[in-house]
Amino acid sequence: MARPHPLSLLALALGLGALRLPAAEGDAAPPWSGSSRDVETGLLWQMGHSTPLAYRLVPTQLSWRSPEFLAHAFADGTRLVVRHRWTLLGTWVQQGPESHYLALDGSPSVELWNRAGTWAAYCGSGGGFGWLDSQAVRGAQGQDFTFNWFARGGIEHVVRRNRHLLAGVMFQHMSNGGQTKPNPGIDAVGFSVGYAWSY
């Protein structure tokens, strides 16, 4: 009997958790007024022709988001919020000659919250640097030290006080910035799911 994929188990756990949790409490502080710790994972597939290898990546992000540092309240009660976001990124190379990548990233988190503070659409783009276990294989990455850039977007839902679910799409690029030749890089796109604690 085939074993279930770890991502399907995580998605099931998040979904069941959302069904069992009560609705967000009305007297809670708005999500953007405090910091947040987020855990997200997903699955990304190689796209484009930067490398002949069909990479498949499983990124796991441990992030900290600051309280809002820029905001605009609209007349209908929705609120546009910008927060700082720092991320420790650990990527398992599920398919490809390398096996893992560890990086530190920074980016803004741009969030459009509804009037009740229970739903948000988010997006952000940023990057950083990290270390990969590079391999001497044609189409693989040229060295261990690697830069990365990413873009993400999705939705965030407050399922109870200080507890949020996240689901979205993610694009990730990694390469060594031309420090070695060849420098094929990896361009991958896919989905992410996560859980956040605000405080």
Torsion of CA 180, 184, 185, 191, to 10 degrees: -170
- Closest to 107 (Cα-Cα) out of 82, 138, 132, 131: 82
Q: Of all residues in the chain, what percent are helix, strand and coil, respectively (each to 5)?
A: 10, 55, 35
pLDDT in tens, 85-121: 999 999 999 999 999 999 999 999 999 999 999 999 9
- Determine the pLDDT at residue 27: 58
pLDDT above 80 for 71: yes
In the numeric block, the tokens 């484009």 are attached to 48
Contact 89, 102 (CB under 8 A): yes
Q: Where are the domains of the chain?
A: 34-198
| CATH code assigned to 34-198 | 2.40.160.20
Q: Give pLDDT, residue 50.
A: 85
Rounded to whole angstroms, the Cα distance separating 82 from 11 reads 27
State CA 87 to chain mean position distance.
8
Residue 182: band (very low, low, confident or very high) from pLDDT cuts 50, 70, 90: confident
Q: Is 0.75 topped by the overall pTM? A: yes
Query: What mean pLDDT is reported for the chain?
Result: 88
Query: 19 is written with which tokens?
Result: 């069904």
- Contact status, residue 198 vs residue 31, Cβ threshold 8 Å: yes
Q: Could you report the per-residue pLDDT of 18-57, keeping only the tens digit for each?
A: 444 444 444 578 999 999 999 999 999 999 888 899 999 9
Comparing 7-16, 28-37, 171-180, which segment has the lowest mean pLDDT?
7-16
